[in-house]
Amino acid sequence: LSNSLTITAIFGGAAFALLFYPSNWPIIGLFHVPVEYGNGQLTIADLFGFEYIRTGMPEYLRIIERGTLRTYGQYATPLSAFCSALLCTLMYTLWWYIGKWFATVRYLNKI
């Protein structure tokens, strides 16, 4: 549509990532169902945060004591969506050049 690799990569890659990202929400949404645990109400995702012991990290006691998976607060969703948009833009450009390299006919130049 645009005859420009840059514009197609930026808008097409970002559109793919930003439209594909919400398709994961029905899968992830199941982990935000409230459950009663102890004498409080938690989501299943928070309960996984309590139960999953991250022993590979030196500060795992502090993370479990805090007991939440919302590390970035309200910025996690837009941050991960725009990071995936950037990666889709870069991967589109990379694979476009790889396809161009394979599609170039080199052995017919001598004819």
16 within some domain: yes
Q: Is residue 69 pLDDT above 50, yes or no?
A: no
Local confidence band at 60 (pLDDT 50, 70, 90 cut-offs): low
* Segment holding 54, helix H or strand E: none
CB contact set of 20 (below 8 Å; sequence gap of 6+): 84
* pTM, rounded to two decimals: 0.55
Buried b (16+ CB within 10 A) or exposed e, 12-25: ebbebbeeebeeee
Quote the distance between the C-alpha of residue 6 and its chain's center.
22
| Mean pLDDT of the 94-103 span | 94
Q: Is residue 106 part of a domain?
A: no
57-68 average pLDDT score: 52
Q: Is residue 111 part of a domain?
A: no
> Each residue of 3-13: pLDDT tens digit?
898 899 989 88
Is 109 inside a domain boundary? no
Helix (H) or strand (E) run with residue 69 in it: none
Q: Looking at the domain assignment, is residue 110 inside a domain?
A: no
Domain that holds residue 79: 5-101
Quick one: average pLDDT of 54-69? Answer: 52
Closest CA to 45 of 8, 63, 70: 70
Q: Is 93 a member of any domain?
A: yes
Domain count, the chain: 1
11, 17 contact by CB (below 8 A): no
| pLDDT at res. 67 | 47
- Helix/strand/coil percent split, the chain, to 5: 65, 5, 25
CATH number of the domain within which 67 lies: 1.20.1450.10
Classify residue 73: in a domain, yes or no: yes
Confirm whether 62 is domain-assigned: yes
